[in-house]
Structure 1
Amino acid sequence: MKIRHRLSLQFTLISGIILTVVFVLIYLLSAQYIRNSFYKLLQMRALVTAQVYLEKDELTKKKFLEIEKSYRERIPDESSNIYDQHNQAVFIEKTRYNWPVSLLETIRHQEVYRFVFREESGLGIYYPDNQGDFVVIVTARNTAGIQQLQYLLWILVVMFLVALLITFLMGQWYASRALEPIKSINRQVQKIRSNNLHLRVQQGLNKDEIDELAANFNGLLQHLEQAFDMQRSFASNASHELRTPLTTIIGEIEVTLQNSRSPEEYVQTLGTLLGESEKLKIITDGLLQLTRVDANLTEANSELIRMDELLWDLAEYWRHKSPPLQLHVQLSGMPDDAALLCIRGNRSLIALALQNILRNAFKFSYNRDVSCRLSYSDSGISLSVSDRGIGIAAADTEKIFMPLYRADNAHSFEGYGIGLSMTQKILYLHKASITVSSVLGQGTTFNIFFPPAGKWL
């Protein structure tokens, strides 16, 4: 069911419940008013009956004639009875009902008593007189009141059905108007495909939830566009990196098979094939490692890592390389509590991420000294790695973390463009962020920020 129809039905249901409560109250209050009015009429008839039969000798002729005239205006199906103190019917010879003594005593006790008998309304009054104490009972059928209630019921039912119909139609109209922006978004979204992800959904000016939905969808489209661009770039770079050694292997085999070769030439060809095959293995192993880095970190596979100690270990590692390479570690703003220099994570993965950055720093600076600065603040631990190498062009700074991407000025150096992508995945896994700033021909600085230990879990 569409939202428009569901909203209309819900709106109609709510309105129906409200109308039902209101109409039921109207009917019950009207029924109570009609019943009370009829009992007041019965009470007046009882008083008139008492005055006609009991006060004739005490009233003036003119007054009695007026009372007698009103007495003749009877209610349909009216029946009257008068009982004396001995519970005997008096004055009115023709009686419809013989009322029990218990009813008469109840009327004497309450003075005015209402009751219902055989679908007729009845009222009894206690009427003391100089001739004695009497009980007057009048019964009648409230035919006019019943007809009024039936007429009112039909009016309320018809009004209820008409109101529900109008409410549903108005709900359909209102829901259509309210959902028109969503329809517009749907029409625009239907036009967006993988080949035109640059399109965006038009946002309104109301600053409401629908505009927020359009803004979020545009943000999603932007991320998808970037992801598709990265995917296309990855496919292009991967095909290039894999095609080069494969082309070399195929070419070497074809040339070798054209003529008979000496054992030395076969050995040379096999050596070339081995070298190119190793390149393929390095690339595929690197891609496989990228997929494995996406594992989740938990308390079980993580530990506290002292960042200053890790940096000293890395500096010692590069110092023992051949030729020795110098990593200058600088500390600033160190806390009194050394435990604050710890981050929680996987030590081998963190070391691998930092080694990839350091390896690139030495490689692209022709093995010049690299500086590493570690600083602490209440918000976390900052680490910057700087070199004096060839630098990175501004257009390439956002692409160097893509798998198999290599900047134009990096093709003369050995590598496959996997290390920085792996580093970014490892750091994001540890809730750390990494940015890069570079000046072409002067050097590059990688800035890493680690949250305090425990905040990443």
Structure 2
Amino acid sequence: MTIRNKLTFLFSGVIAVLLLAFAFVIYFSFSENRETEYYNSLRHTAIIKANLLLDAKVQPGVLQLIYKNSPNSFFQEEVAIYDTSFHLLYHDAVEIDKVKETRQMIDEIVAKKQIKFYQGQMQAVGILYHHNHKDYVITSAANDQSGYAKLRNLRYTLIISFFVAIVLIYMAGHVFASKALQPVSDLIDEVDIITATNLDLRVHEGNGKDEIAELAVTFNAMLNRLEQSFDAQKEFVSNISHELRTPITAMLTELQVTVEKERSNEFYKEAIHHAISDTQKLVRLSNSLLDLAKANYDHTEISFRDTRLDEVLLDARNDVMHDHPDYRISIIFEQEIEDDNFISISANAYLLKVAFMNLMENGCKFSDPKEASVAISYFQNKTLLRFQDQGIGISEEEISKIFNPFYRGGDKKLVAGNGIGLSLTKKIVELHQGNIAVSSRPGSGTTFTVEFLHL
């Protein structure tokens, strides 16, 4: 069932229940008022006839004649007057006797002064009437034909009105639900035409105030992320294809040239060295890609534990200097460590070491001599690491691009690399809820500042 139909039925059902409750209240209220008013009418008629008989001294025969000759005498109020000893003084129609009075009934009326009851379909009232220092018991009964007819008409009117109202409410609810959900239908139509080939399209955000507009804004934000992800993926595939093609092509060319004819041992050795160099490039590229994939994992898929940043820095420094014996890296503690918590964060030590190694290698690689330094300073709520070198520096127009995957800048002919290191480092730092910033001037060296908050 569609939401439109659910809303329509829900709206109609709620209104139907309210209308039904309202109809019951009206019907039973009218029924009680009719009953009360007719009891009062019976009591009034009984007192009038008693006054005619006792005060005006109208003969009983005359009153009976009037009763019998009145129209609709069957439904007219029938009055009987007794004394307290159950002696009949007057009766409109003894042969009919609607009430069927008994001694027990007379005694009850004397005791309670007034009783109301039903005799079959008729309402009846019994009252103790005091007149000229004497007590009389008067009963009056009749069928409220007119009142029941009005009650019946009211019932039919309410039933018909209820069903007519339900139909109208259902139609109105359908219209209102359709109108309320029209933005959703429009959103569905707009979303339906968005595919992988036109992720630049966006849905209309409406008035920007209601829930539909909020959904559209959220969906557009998701499309922005998807578009960026798709673009990054396309760029990644394009760049990785190029990066893989270069060493593989070089290896293939070198090997093909080598096997074309007999060569000297020196030539074979040189060819093997070239193949080894290209293979090492492929290994470094593969390792970088694996590290980049790990850094892109969901946060919940990576194990974190309390880690001392100085220990990770020392491990990274040892690994870099082991791989590059000509590199020189110094670690400077700008203040004494008074509390381990000031220099510890929740981290994945492996990924953090990869990031630090990239920054150290970059500092040495672009410096002459191959030297870099790491300065550590800490505060109660954060730790700062500054990776400094005195290398060739970075131009202002390139600083905004250095964290893009596979970007190598104008120095790519001077120093070997694949352009993944800084992009990988930035992802790892952000994965650890940190920030990385760079400041540099051509010819004056570069400083990368990494900030980790103590969460």
What secondary structure is seen at the aligned counterpart in 2 of 1:91?
Answer: strand
Residue from 179, 188, 191 that aligns with 2:190? 188
Distance 1:378 1:123, change over 3 A: farther
Alignment of 1:87-236 (within 5 A): 87-92=86-91, 93-94=94-95, 95-130=97-132, 132-205=134-207, 207-236=209-238
> 1:82-122: CA deviations, max 9, x gaps?
33322344422332343344433332222222112212211
Matched, 1:276 2:278: yes
**What's the CA shift for 1:213?**
2.6
Residue from 322, 327, 334 that aligns with 2:325? 322
Distance 1:208 1:382, change over 3 A: farther
Matched, 1:85 2:84: yes
Q: Please tell me whether the aligned partners of residues 202 and 220 of structure 2 are also in contact (alpha carbons under 8 angstroms).
A: yes
> 1:247-282: CA deviations, max 9, x gaps?
223334443454456676556545544443343333
**What's the CA shift for 1:227?**
0.9
The corresponding residue for 1:31 is 31
**What's the CA shift for 1:164?**
2.6
> 1:46-93: CA deviations, max 9, x gaps?
212323444343x8x9xx999997995757164333333223444223
The corresponding residue for 2:306 is 303
TM-score by length of 1: 0.82
d(CA) in 2 for partners of 1:175, 1:441: 68
TM-score by length of 2: 0.83
Tell me the amino acid that sits aligned with residue 331 of structure 1.
E
Alignment of 1:20-59 (within 5 A): 20-57=20-57
d(CA) in 2 for partners of 1:176, 1:376: 60
Paired-residue identity, %: 31
Tell me the amino acid that sits aligned with residue 87 of structure 1.
F
**What's the CA shift for 1:226?**
1.2
The more displaced of 425-434 and 139-148 is 425-434
Q: Please tell me whether the aligned partners of residues 384 and 449 of structure 2 are also in contact (alpha carbons under 8 angstroms).
A: yes
Structural RMSD (CA)? 3.7
**What's the CA shift for 1:402?**
4.8
Distance 1:163 1:437, change over 3 A: farther
What secondary structure is seen at the aligned counterpart in 2 of 1:173?
Answer: helix
Q: Please tell me whether the aligned partners of residues 389 and 441 of structure 1 are also in contact (alpha carbons under 8 angstroms).
A: yes
The more displaced of 116-125 and 385-394 is 385-394
Q: Please tell me whether the aligned partners of residues 312 and 352 of structure 2 are also in contact (alpha carbons under 8 angstroms).
A: no
**What's the CA shift for 1:337?**
4.6
Q: Please tell me whether the aligned partners of residues 234 and 405 of structure 1 are also in contact (alpha carbons under 8 angstroms).
A: no
Distance 1:151 1:84, change over 3 A: same
The more displaced of 97-106 and 235-244 is 97-106
Q: Please tell me whether the aligned partners of residues 77 and 140 of structure 2 are also in contact (alpha carbons under 8 angstroms).
A: yes
Distance 1:408 1:4, change over 3 A: farther
What secondary structure is seen at the aligned counterpart in 1 of 2:20?
Answer: helix
What secondary structure is seen at the aligned counterpart in 1 of 2:29?
Answer: helix
d(CA) in 2 for partners of 1:27, 1:426: 75
The more displaced of 39-48 and 169-178 is 169-178
Tell me the amino acid that sits aligned with residue 50 of structure 2.
A
The corresponding residue for 1:372 is 374
The corresponding residue for 1:237 is 239
Q: How many matched pairs?
A: 447
Q: Please tell me whether the aligned partners of residues 318 and 325 of structure 1 are also in contact (alpha carbons under 8 angstroms).
A: no
The more displaced of 386-395 and 193-202 is 386-395
**What's the CA shift for 1:377?**
4.3
Alignment of 1:307-456 (within 5 A): 307-308=309-310, 311=313, 322-327=325-330, 329=332, 331=334, 337=339, 339-392=341-394, 397=399, 400-439=402-441, 442-452=444-454, 455=455
The more displaced of 108-117 and 423-432 is 423-432
Matched, 1:15 2:15: yes
